[in-house]
Amino acid sequence: MTPTPEPSTPTAQPTTAPPTVVKPTVVKPTVVKPTPVTTKKAVVELRVIPFKKKTVTDSSMAKGETVVTTTGVNGTRRLTYEVTYVDGVQTAKELLKQEVAKQPRTQVTTVGTKVEESESSDCDPNYSGGCVPIASDVDCSGGSGNGPAYVRGPVTVVGSDIYGLDRDNDGLGCED
């Protein structure tokens, strides 16, 4: 006889769970932004204040003569600002105070108005350095001319030599 197999009881077989798949975690880098550095600084600027010009007249000076009687000097203005910088870049500028550090000095120019009169109204204005009379003819005294008027030289010709007193045309008449 053959042995009959015994009914089999199921034997517990070890069961394995399906493998767990671990997905890798992607870590995004976090960018840490630095905190902006803000600084404030007092800044002083100097600015030029240009001097003014003034002209005055003086009747004791000859007409057309000019003299600078007071030299002009520029002044200085001091401006104080508060300047704000963020990461070294200027972002704001506020005026805190302004003051005149040095007053400008006005330049004064004096202009003469005095009209010079001729040495005499009987003297010809074409000559200076002596009075050449106004006449129909004037000759150098001591010369060969026949007058009727004479002049002692030398005289300077400043206009037209209407009497021919400057024979050598050097600007001086009756120089002998």
Strands (DSSP E) found in 15-74: 38-49, 53-62, 66-70
Cβ neighbours of 44 (radius 10 Å): 11
Per-residue pLDDT band at 136 (split at 50, 70, 90): confident
pTM above 0.85, yes or no: no
pLDDT of residue 151: 87
Highest average pLDDT, of 53-62, 76-85, 120-129, comes from 76-85
Mean pLDDT for all residues in the chain: 85
Token code pair at residue 113: 């108005």
CB count within 10 Å of CB 174 equals 24
pLDDT confidence tier of residue 74, bands split at 50, 70 and 90: very high
Domains along the chain with CATH numbers? 38-114 (2.20.230.10), 118-176 (no CATH)
Q: What are 80-99's pLDDT values in tens digits?
A: 999 999 999 999 999 999 99
Question: If DSSP codes are grouped into helix, strand and coil, which group holds residue 85?
Answer: strand
Contact 154, 172 (CB under 8 A): yes
